Amino acid sequence: MIELINVTKAYSGKLALSGINLQVQPGQIYGILGPNGSGKTTMLKLISSIIKPTSGSIMVLGHDTVTENNVVKSITGYVPETPALYESMSIWEYLRFIASVRRVPSGQYEKRATEFLKAFELDETSSDYIGNLSFGTRQKVAIIAALIHDPQVIVLDEAMNGLDPRSSKILKDLLARIAERGKIIIFSTHIMEVAQRLCTRLSILYAGKIVDSGTFEELEKKHSEGNLEDIFLKVTGSEDLDPTVNSLAESMRE
């Protein structure tokens, strides 16, 4: 499992996360929700061993993300919020490069990459340079790169953003199938409908703290709200937005 114990992260002395305790079990699809700046990316980077906690500990399948960061990176597939890819490589070259770093045997790489490119409708464009790709296409390449070595743990930071409906549907269904095989999936999203439908468990972050956690059914019952958007707005103190919209609309008429 993934376990965060009393985790704090500060950037230049300013807290981005504090008092975070979280467990994610194999087979779960865990959703991290929260407004902009609430600490989602920080949490996912900590789990993927990209950054170190200021205090507390993070264990991924029994490995400490600080002292065993190479092991954690090797068993994790991470899709960053804004993927930094090699601009001057073609899609195919880039994926082959990532696969070789990940030590995927070349036969397996060829098969997986071909399947992914076909599924995401990139088979005709696999020789295009990454530097020339649209935002959504780059996102697809980053997703393929994160999954090509069949990682035990999959971490996606707003990876659905920019995906067309076909690719988004394929990714969601694939994640559900991968979770059934006992892998761990954790992702952040602003798309409430995706979180509600796909996640087996959710945590809502607000100002660097987890303000609520549970299955959607548990949260629904607790807050007497029938959809995740309303639960989210309630928990993050944005329940009644009418006065805000009214005064905004007024200000635009003046």
The verdict on 140 binding ligand ADP (CB under 6 A) reads: no
Candidate list 42, 139, 196, 203; residue touching ligand ADP; CB under 6 A: 42
* Among positions 19, 37, 105, 182, the unique one binding ligand ADP when judged by CB under 6 A: 37
User: Which of Mg ion, ligand ADP, none sits in contact with 86, Cβ below 5 to 8 A by type?
Assistant: none
Q: Which range binds ligand ADP by CB under 6 A, 38-46, 130-138, 161-169, 234-242?
A: 38-46
Q: Which is nearer to ligand ADP, 91 or 156 (CB)?
A: 156
Closer residue to ligand ADP, CB minimum distance, 44 or 98: 44
Contact indicator for 242, 206 with CB cutoff of 8 Å = no
Of the candidate residues 41, 48, 137, 196, the single one contacting ligand ADP (CB under 6 A): 41
| Minimal CB distance residue for Mg ion | 41
Min separation Cβ 93 and ligand ADP, Å: 30
Could you write out the DSSP letters of every residue in 178-242? HHHTT-EEEEE-S-HHHHHHH-SEEEEEETTEEEEEE-HHHHHHHHT-SSHHHHHHHHTT-S--H
Taking residue 170's Cβ as centre, other Cβ atoms within 10 Å add up to 18
**Helix, strand, coil percentages for the chain (3-state, nearest 5):** 40, 25, 35
Q: For the chain, give me the number of helices (H) and strands (E)?
A: 10, 10
Using the contact rule CB under 6 A, the part of the chain among 36-44, 84-92, 100-108, 173-181 near ligand ADP is 36-44
Containing 147, the helix (H) or strand (E) segment is: helix 135-147
Q: Which does 63 bind (CB under 5 to 8 A by kind): Mg ion, ligand ADP, none?
A: none
Among Mg ion, ligand ADP, none, partner that 167 touches (CB below 5 to 8 angstroms by kind)? none
- Nearest residue to 203 (alpha-carbon basis) of 178, 235, 171, 179: 235
**Both structure tokens of 112:** 């997986």
Stretch that binds ligand ADP, among 37-45, 110-118, 120-128, 129-137 (CB under 6 A): 37-45
Q: Strand pairing of 2-11 and 55-60? A: antiparallel
Burial of 233: CB neighbours in 10 Å, binned 0-12, 13-18, 19+: middle
Residue 11 in the binding site for ligand ADP (CB under 6 A): yes
Q: Is 77 in the site for ligand ADP (CB under 6 A)?
A: no
**Tokens encoding 161:** 């953003």
Tell the smallest beta-carbon distance from residue 42 to ligand ADP (Å).
Answer: 3
Residues that bind ligand ADP (CB under 6 A): 11, 16, 34, 36-42
